[in-house]
Structure 1
Amino acid sequence: MTEEEFQEKFPILLCRGFIGGKVSHNRFCKADRLNKTVAGTFSIPLKESPSKEKTTFGFCMRKEELIFIDDAGKVRQILDEMQGYPLTDSSSPALLLFDFMEYLLKDDMIFLQEYEERLTRLEEELLNGKAEGFDRKILSFRKELSALSAYYEQLSDMGETLQQNAAEQGDEKDSLLFGLYSDKAGRLYSAVQMLKEYSMQLREMHQTQIDVRQNEIMKMLTVVTTVFMPLTLVAGWYGMNFVNMPELASPYGYIVICAICLLVIVVEILIFKIKGWFK
């Protein structure tokens, strides 16, 4: 049904089961029990851009019927795709809803494995020193994984609600199936959490590389500063030009000072090597 058709037929259910009495106002997956009816929404992130666009529609499951509320025709497209999918059992609305929800997750583990492969390639680029645009890439990964994490967590909660509803109605098979579905969504949620931790480790690795480069620069600047400190002292000392300074009148004074400065530099470099400053 369209939202308008559902509102005409079930005005009370629309007001009680959906935020603001509008399916389009919902941006998350949920299931609420209303007496003998379960109503809720699906908000499915697109795999091409999980953090941006979502496919949103509602559902209402009664004892003898399962109604999808969709103005965009997305549900019809999914149901058409399910024609060749092996169904569990469509003898009841609950089992049809289970098959529908199961179909939504059919290839998601493979999808998450592709995320892991992309993160692995990003790690290899980082180790090879190709960190251009890394911050932008890792931020995009984290936003998409956060959207997927919320999606799977919400589906797991939906499975628990439907499991409880089936148990109270005495449908042991439905209760078992929705319990298994909740566990499956929970495993996908855990997999996403691991990927988020992986992305955090890559970010920390990148920050460590930046810190190492900064430390190398600071060490080099420290070496240069240390080398020129005694030379600056010599230059300041002999730049006073007092009349009675003996080196001013000596024909070899300039050469002697240059030799002393070079000796100081050589001694400092030897000390730095002994201390391991150039490693």
Structure 2
Amino acid sequence: MIEQLPHAAMPFAELAEGAVLGVVVLPPAGGRAADAPRFAFALSSARLVFVDASGTCAVLLDGLASEAAPVETPAGVLCALLRSLLYEHPEMLSRVRGDFETFEQRILEGRERIDRAKMMADSRRMLGLDSFYQGMSDIADLLVGEESVLLAPEDRSRFTVLSRQLDRLSARLESLQNYALQVSGLYQEGIDIRQNNVMQWLTVVTTIAMPLTVVTGWYGMNFPHMGLIDAVWGYPLVTCVCIAIVVAEVAFFHRRGWLSFGGRRRRRR
């Protein structure tokens, strides 16, 4: 079991020779999941043993001792310790939701830049919490299950309460993940709209310049006896024709609504 500890990606537990052996992997605060704090435990009917190189258990046990938690059995201590890991999670989920509400508001206001790094950090945090809740639920279900004979009735009730708490947090996290996907989709939609506006500008400019390119290319062939070459009023006439073409194109594009970049297009009559 100790050999598996460094390689565990999420909490898990298993029955082995009248005891439950498990590993609890906390959600990583940052960086890689392999660097997340973790500890192992071995629970029997009369003893609870922790294997912890990070000092996480000592801090949690000191907190339980200072609160004078009403636990009398090893299973009760384990349940209280696991529940203490979840104290700050509702507030954490509320903060993440607040971040995405801020992102959504900035996107709806038309601001082009949001804190993309913070959005990705919140998304990674939610992925870590998802693995954490799944693993913790597996541990609670294993201890509450019929095959487990290590728990007294009152301890079984405690782990049932823990399992329900994890289910509520998982449901809340799932709702938050769906909301995050909607915000990310809205952000990507804004990027696509801006890209479409840029392409629309380029298309309009290219279309306006195309007839002018034809005119200049035609009179750049340098054939003798071309019309208007020797006429005094030839150059002003061609200039006026080019201006008229540009004005006609701009009026046509405006009537079709092709110059309302990102705004509401006029309806065709």
Task: Calculate the aligned-residue CA RMSD, in Å.
Answer: 2.4
| Richer in helix (by share) | 1
- Give the distance between the partners of 1:73 and 1:230, measured in 2 at CA: 76
Query: 2:176: which partner in 1?
Result: 195
Letter in 1 for 2:92: F
TM-superposition CA deviations, 1:70-91 (whole Å, max 9, x none): 234331221111124363x422
Query: 2:267: which partner in 1?
Result: none
Query: 2:51: which partner in 1?
Result: 69
Which structure 2 residue ranges, 5 or more long, are not aligned? 261-269
Does the 8 A contact of 1:149 with 1:189 survive in 2?
yes
TM-superposition CA deviations, 1:148-180 (whole Å, max 9, x none): 110111001111001015864684333232122
Further displaced range: 254-263 or 122-131: 122-131
5 Å-filtered alignment, 1:1-279, equals: 18=1, 20=3, 23-46=5-28, 48-49=29-30, 52=33, 53-85=35-67, 87=69, 89-128=70-109, 129-131=111-113, 134=116, 136-164=117-145, 168=149, 171-279=152-260
Query: 1:3: which partner in 2?
Result: none
> How big is the shift at 1:216?
0.8
Further displaced range: 137-146 or 105-114: 137-146
Higher relative contact order (CA 8 A, sep 6+): 2
TM-score of the pair, normalised by structure 1: 0.83
Report the CA distance shift for 1:178/1:211 in structure 2 as closer, same or farther (over 3 A): same
- Give the distance between the partners of 1:218 and 1:187, measured in 2 at CA: 47
- Give the distance between the partners of 1:50 and 1:253, measured in 2 at CA: 72
Query: 1:13: which partner in 2?
Result: none
TM-superposition CA deviations, 1:178-215 (whole Å, max 9, x none): 12211211221222223222322222222111111111
Further displaced range: 146-155 or 66-75: 66-75
- Give the distance between the partners of 2:103 and 2:13, measured in 1 at CA: 38
> How big is the shift at 1:244?
2.4
- Give the distance between the partners of 2:148 and 2:221, measured in 1 at CA: 97
Does the 8 A contact of 1:51 with 1:143 survive in 2?
no
TM-score of the pair, normalised by structure 2: 0.85
- Give the distance between the partners of 2:61 and 2:253, measured in 1 at CA: 74
TM-superposition CA deviations, 1:7-36 (whole Å, max 9, x none): xxxxxxxxxxx164x544444311211242
Letter in 2 for 1:102: R
> How big is the shift at 1:221?
1.1
Report the CA distance shift for 1:72/1:239 in structure 2 as closer, same or farther (over 3 A): closer
TM-superposition CA deviations, 1:218-247 (whole Å, max 9, x none): 111111111111111221222233332231
Corresponding residue SS for 2:228: helix
Percent identity, aligned pairs only, is: 27
Report the CA distance shift for 1:195/1:51 in structure 2 as closer, same or farther (over 3 A): farther
- Give the distance between the partners of 1:246 and 1:54, measured in 2 at CA: 81
Does the 8 A contact of 1:39 with 1:60 survive in 2?
yes
Which structure 1 residue ranges, 5 or more long, are not aligned? 1-17
Does the 8 A contact of 1:159 with 1:181 survive in 2?
yes
- Give the distance between the partners of 1:32 and 1:253, measured in 2 at CA: 94
Letter in 1 for 2:207: T
